């Protein structure tokens, strides 16, 4: 089954046996009747499992070419479950340019429990091995990264992980399984903030994990159930609905992304454009090899690194909405230094390129000419 068909049918059973519903029903229930203690039809309590959530989890697994999917109440809840597999003294090697919420979870929550994190540039994946010790248990990769759009070679990272018997987890939120499938490149765990492209309509908060290995899935399922960071059936229904148009939405995100990135690259007031599809992107060749296209996420800086000017630009936008998040059908703009990455200390931010003039765009599926005209009037 090819991707466009899997987006609609992947992992799904035949029509609902009760009444023939084409879409899996919303099972808005907390518990399930049992004929005898332990005698049930596969579900006993909705924290442990819900038919609507299970349908979504099968869809997640199908799209990522995995065997097991898990749906969580948020992307951070999904990451939380992965790190809970570790114990005090364990070490994690992480991308240094990553979502601010991930950085905050690692440093403000898990470091106090004795887990050590190394934040490094992974643009040259060979560098990862320099930080591997006998205590390393996990390599955490985000590619493309948020917000600098750095691209990391997943196959090379997987080679290092396998060599040292270390788990490799890849945050695939920006690319989605439409553009890249990390499990096929050797990753052990794929993570998504399903709030973004998988849901696609800015109306739900959710996280996802997908794995191939049964033992690893069982460890994560145990943590999911024991910690309770699950999503509800209504949210599961909304994301399952969103997945059915992922392929056509991503096609337009990529088309518009290319046009907007090209426009910005030729603008006299723009210093630098960060988009993997540009030939001057440092790892364009890797992106071309491991991605099917380059997505709709773009970051750029204005000349002079002027904080006030960047704020004025995002405030003047009319079609782009100034807001947190990304990946919806509507275009969004953000100022990472004061929004999504404000939890990262300034000096650490600036080391990775998150300077005061950086603006991040989530290019939606509107008409590209309208988006460019909006940027033109805002930049001036």
Residues labelled as active-site residues: 47, 99, 171, 196
Q: What is the DSSP letter of 268?
A: T
- Tell me the residue ranges of DSSP E strands in 135-257: 136-142, 167-171, 189-193, 207-211
Do residues 169 and 188 make contact, with C-beta atoms less than 8 angstroms apart? yes
In 3D space, the residue among 332, 328, 324, 331 whose CA is nearest the CA of residue 367 turns out to be 331
Q: How far apart are CA 143 and CA 190, in angstroms?
A: 11
**Dist. CA 124–CA 117, nearest whole Å:** 19
Query: What DSSP character marks residue 328?
Result: S
Lookup: tokens for 3: 């991707």
Residue 171: both structure tokens together: 């945050």
Across 160-269, where does the E strand assignment appear?
167-171, 189-193, 207-211
CA pair distance 325, 108, nearest whole angstrom = 21
Cα 293 to chain centroid distance, Å, stands at 16
Angle value at C-alpha 274, between 272 and 275, nearest 5 degrees: 140
CB 145 within 8 A of CB 165: no
> Helix-strand-coil percent breakdown of the chain, rounded to 5?
40, 15, 45
Task: State residue 230 phi and psi, 5-degree precision.
Answer: -95, 165
């Amino acid at each position: 089954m090819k991707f466009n068909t899997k987006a609609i049918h992947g992992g799904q059973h035949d029509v609902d046996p009760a009444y023939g519903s084409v879409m899996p029903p919303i099972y808005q229930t907390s518990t399930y009747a049992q004929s005898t203690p332990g005698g049930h039809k596969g579900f006993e309590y909705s924290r442990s499992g819900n038919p609507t959530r299970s349908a979504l989890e099968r869809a997640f697994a199908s799209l990522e070419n995995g065997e097991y999917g898990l749906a969580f109440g948020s992307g951070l809840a999904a990451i939380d479950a992965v790190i809970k597999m570790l114990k005090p003294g364990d070490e994690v090697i992480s991308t240094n340019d990553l979502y601010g919420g991930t950085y905050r979870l690692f440093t403000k929550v898990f470091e106090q429990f004795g887990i050590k994190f190394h934040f490094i540039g992974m643009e040259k994946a060979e560098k990862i091995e320099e930080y591997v010790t006998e205590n390393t248990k996990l390599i955490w990769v985000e590619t493309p990264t948020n917000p600098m759009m750095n691209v990391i070679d997943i196959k090379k990272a997987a080679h290092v992980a396998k060599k040292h018997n270390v788990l490799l987890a890849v945050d695939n939120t920006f690319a989605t399984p439409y553009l890249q499938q990390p499990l096929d490149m050797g990753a052990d765990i794929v993570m998504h903030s399903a709030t973004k492209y998988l849901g696609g309509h800015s109306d739900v908060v959710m996280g996802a994990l997908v794995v191939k290995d049964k033992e690893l899935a069982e460890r994560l399922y145990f943590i999911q159930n024991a910690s309770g960071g699950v999503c509800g059936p209504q949210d599961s229904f909304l994301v399952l609905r969103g997945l059915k148009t992922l392929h056509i939405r991503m096609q337009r995100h990529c088309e518009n992304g290319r046009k907007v990135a090209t426009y910005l690259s030729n603008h006299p007031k723009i210093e630098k454009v960060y988009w993997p599809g540009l030939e001057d992107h440092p790892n364009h060749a890797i992106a071309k090899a491991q991605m099917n296209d380059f997505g709709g996420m773009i970051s750029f800086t204005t000349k002079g690194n002027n904080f006030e000017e960047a704020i004025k630009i995002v405030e003047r936008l009319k079609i782009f909405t100034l807001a947190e998040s990304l990946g919806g059908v509507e275009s969004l703009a953000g100022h990472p230094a004061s929004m999504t990455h404000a939890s990262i200390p300034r000096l650490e931010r600036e080391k990775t390129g998150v300077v005061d003039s950086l603006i991040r765009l989530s290019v939606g599926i509107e008409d590209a000419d309208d988006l460019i005209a909006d940027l033109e009037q805002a930049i001036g």
